[in-house]
Amino acid sequence: MTFLQPALLLGLPAILLPILIHLLNRLRFKSVRWAAMMFLVSAARSSTRHARLRHYLILLFRTLIILFLILALSRPIIGGWLGSSLSGAPDTVLIMLDRSASMEDTDPRLQSPKREHAIQRFVQAGESMQGQSRYVLIENALNMPQEIAGTAALPALSLTGPTDTAANVPTMLSAALDYMDYNQTGHTEIWLASDLQASNWHPDEGVWTELVERLAAHPMDVKVRILALTSETHENTSIALSSLKRQSVSGRPHLNLSVSLQRNPEANQRFPVAMSLNGSRLPEDRKLDLDAELYSRLLALPADQEKTGWGMVEIPADENPRDNTYYFVYDEDVQLHTAIVADNGDAQRYLQLAAAPAPQWFPHSAETLMPSQTTTLNTEALSMLIWQAGTGADDILSTIETFAHAGGAIFCFPPARGEGATQEGPFGLRWGAIETAPKAKPLRVTTWDNKDGPLAESRDGITLPIGQLNIIQRQCPVLEASDDDVSSDRLDSDWITLATFEDGKPFLLKKRVGRGSVFVCTTLPTPEWSNLGEGMVLVPMVQRVLQEGGSRLSARGMESCGVWRPTDESEPWVCEEGDRDYRWQAGVYRLGSQRVALNRPDRENDLERVPLERLRTLFDGVDIQLFEETIETARKESTSELWPLMVLLALLCMMVESSLLISDRMARRKQIIS
């Protein structure tokens, strides 16, 4: 037998309380001079049997009551045949529903979307369960466990509706495990429905090892039942926008759209593409040719909608309605401007090139300043500030912080001076000592976030060559708050590490400040420090930070649904078309002059599935059952929580103790009356 709350077993000595109270009462006797001693002696002689037995029984039952209550609170669990016989229905069923866009594929055999089919199977499985279980829903859009009344409520819930998001199964599973640990869910089953899309399951990621270990080591016997909906669509086509350019033709602004189509071999090869601009439907295009996968269209922008607007491209309904529409927004090109405050002349030059690599092609500019010239810094039209200097005057530090709070991006590089951790830069940054590695054995960046942030892989899926960086010198910031300084900006938890060296020290850090962000790189792009100056990593990294800082000046944005979140969740982003929720529905959303087009993530078009055998390997050591169409709820030997039994036993003991007391009192009263 094991316990979910073993710490409460420390209260077991409390079962001696009734006995101690009894003994203390015996010690606290008072003396009474008594005349009718002959009856007392006679009574004491005869009472040793019945009354004494009853008295000791009352003591015993009081002790048992405390024992069972402590055991109930410590939540014992029992396995083996006894656990199985007591188990019945699981205490908790965690329903994990993948409602990504790909789950809207209509299964030709079932004639309904996979998501709806999964919900129906959940409802049926819930109906077949005997006993009272608690049901908790975790779906991929919010990853927030929500308790529901029962499986019958699933079809009506908004949280089980279709979405334009992608799923991240490891994250969902992690949320489920966190919920189980935090809420001590007892005997638990996880019901998971998914189309096993590889881009949702990330089967090659190391996180699976940790998740499976947590599942296998869970004190309760956790069962995972997976409903695999792996059937393929046959006649489906998905539409996406591969590029969107605003260009001038014959002196008039036009929108150059490149639409890409991905279709099944059996899909309809000829269909029209509908377009709309700012809510107005444009004349339907001609039927597309058979093998056309990329379709370009030049749209003349109306005079009153030249500068900014939105639109969508659409194809007729097919087996998946969620991949037939793609939204876009357009805006005037905004010149992104960077100010570089640097001590080191070489570093200044490299950073300037990275910030404005080809002024003739891209409307980006960069100006360089010495720390002493920062008094003339104007942050009004600034997108990014690169700070490669030690401390600054108080007024400029204040200006920088204001700039960051307004949505600007700050990129900090080491001051390249061994100032130690005594002087502060912007946001309370204190740099540590310069560390130098032998040239023969340079420092390497081994881990980084390639899904999001400045080091993310490109849209084409090309990974940045971060592993090829040779870093000779580095200077890391001291992030912990000192004993005599407890200012809130210095707390370690505010900083997110985006990339680390092999020894665990940070290469790239990020911190959110108001609507903006502060990034810290711990090396310089000069040859003495690293080969970052070669540009393969530096340019995209700086450009992405620049784009992030420039987004506050631009009304244009195209993001993935389910991934994008406003800086402030309370901002009232409204949909241009009807009432939609940006958390899981594609569309164009607007907040003031800013617009964002949310579309299903590109990886939802990925057709690769996780093979069932691979799935079994993934859950090695965990009790899983795979179903391809239905979920069966047959019981196998399992563990069971015993706290209800303990509470029942405690209640029984209370009843027996009460009846003993009541009968005793009644007998006394009867005697007194007689």
Q: Where are the alpha helices (DSSP H) in 525-642?
A: 538-550, 612-618
CB of 225 to other proteins, least distance (A): 58
Interacting residue with other proteins among 156, 317, 634, 672 (CB under 8 A): 672
Interacting residue with other proteins among 29, 81, 182, 361 (CB under 8 A): 29
Host H or E run for residue 173: helix 169-183
19 vs 626, beta carbon nearer other proteins: 19
Q: Which pairing describes strands 146-148 and 134-139: parallel, antiparallel, or unpaired?
A: antiparallel
> In the block, which residue shows the tokens 């956790």?
222
DSSP 125-144: HHHH--S--EEEEEETTT--
CB of 664 to other proteins, least distance (A): 8
Host H or E run for residue 280: strand 280-281
The number of C-alpha atoms within 13 Å of 76 and in the hemisphere containing its C-beta is 19
CB of 638 to other proteins, least distance (A): 48
Interacting residue with other proteins among 38, 303, 486, 634 (CB under 8 A): 38
In DSSP terms, which residues pair with 286 in a beta bridge?
none
CB of 19 to other proteins, least distance (A): 14
23 vs 249, beta carbon nearer other proteins: 23
CA angle 431, 348, 466 (to 5 degrees): 70
Query: Interacting stretch for other proteins, rule CB under 8 A, among 28-36, 387-395, 513-521, 611-619?
Result: 28-36
CB of 32 to other proteins, least distance (A): 5
Query: Interacting stretch for other proteins, rule CB under 8 A, among 34-42, 94-102, 192-200, 455-463?
Result: 34-42
CB of 3 to other proteins, least distance (A): 37
DSSP 257-269: EEEEEEE-TTS-S
How far apart are the C-alpha atoms of 187 and 179, rounded to whole Å? Answer: 13
18 vs 408, beta carbon nearer other proteins: 18
CB of 663 to other proteins, least distance (A): 11
Interacting residue with other proteins among 10, 41, 298, 300 (CB under 8 A): 41
Query: Interacting stretch for other proteins, rule CB under 8 A, among 35-43, 67-75, 447-455, 515-523?
Result: 35-43
37 vs 156, beta carbon nearer other proteins: 37
CB of 24 to other proteins, least distance (A): 10
298 vs 661, beta carbon nearer other proteins: 661
**By the rule CB under 8 A, 307 interacts with other proteins:** no
CB of 650 to other proteins, least distance (A): 24
47 vs 617, beta carbon nearer other proteins: 47
Q: Which pairing describes strands 309-314 and 274-277: parallel, antiparallel, or unpaired?
A: antiparallel
Interacting residue with other proteins among 30, 286, 441, 459 (CB under 8 A): 30
Dihedral angle computed from the Cα positions of residues 191, 231, 626 and 601, in that order, rounded to the nearest 10 degrees: -50
Contact 440, 492 (CB under 8 A): no
Interacting residue with other proteins among 37, 156, 217, 303 (CB under 8 A): 37
Interacting residue with other proteins among 10, 21, 43, 607 (CB under 8 A): 43
CB of 61 to other proteins, least distance (A): 16
Do you know the residue count of the chain? Answer: 674
CB of 48 to other proteins, least distance (A): 9
Three-state DSSP state, 506: strand
Query: Interacting stretch for other proteins, rule CB under 8 A, among 39-47, 420-428, 523-531, 586-594?
Result: 39-47
Host H or E run for residue 574: strand 574-575
30 vs 286, beta carbon nearer other proteins: 30
CB of 51 to other proteins, least distance (A): 5
Q: Where are the alpha helices (DSSP H) in 356-421?
A: 394-405
Which residues within the stretch 641-670 sit at the binding site for other proteins (CB under 8 A)? 664, 667-668
Tokens in use for 439? 């040239």
Q: Phi and psi dihedrals of 212, rounded to 5? A: -65, -35
**By the rule CB under 8 A, 31 interacts with other proteins:** yes
Interacting residue with other proteins among 36, 290, 317, 462 (CB under 8 A): 36
Interacting residue with other proteins among 7, 26, 358, 438 (CB under 8 A): 26
Interacting residue with other proteins among 12, 19, 44, 298 (CB under 8 A): 44
CB of 672 to other proteins, least distance (A): 6
Exposure string (b/e) for 35-59, b if CB count within 10 Å is 16 or more? eeeeeeeeeeeeeeeeeeebeeebe
Dihedral angle computed from the Cα positions of residues 584, 586, 590 and 596, in that order, rounded to the nearest 10 degrees: 110
Which residues within the stretch 108-137 sit at the binding site for other proteins (CB under 8 A)? none
DSSP 418-454: --GGGSB-GGG-EEEEEEE--TTS-B-EEEE-SSSST
29 vs 361, beta carbon nearer other proteins: 29
How far apart are the C-alpha atoms of 282 and 277, rounded to whole Å? Answer: 7
In DSSP terms, which residues pair with 468 in a beta bridge?
none
**By the rule CB under 8 A, 33 interacts with other proteins:** yes
Which residues within the stretch 465-494 sit at the binding site for other proteins (CB under 8 A)? none
Distances (CA, A) of 398 to 336, 404, 566, 650: 22, 10, 25, 65
How far apart are the C-alpha atoms of 174 and 254, rounded to whole Å? Answer: 47
25 vs 132, beta carbon nearer other proteins: 25
Between 37-47 and 50-73, two packed helices, what is the crossing angle to 10 degrees?
A: 60
Q: Which of 601, 607, 459 is nearest to 101 (CA)?
A: 601
Contact pattern from residue 48 through residue 87 relative to other proteins, giving x for each residue in contact according to CB under 8 A and a dash for the rest: ---xx--x--------------------------------
Contact pattern from residue 441 through residue 470 relative to other proteins, giving x for each residue in contact according to CB under 8 A and a dash for the rest: ------------------------------
Which residue ranges make up the site for other proteins (CB under 8 A)?
25-26, 28-44, 46-47, 51-52, 55, 664, 667-668, 671-672, 674
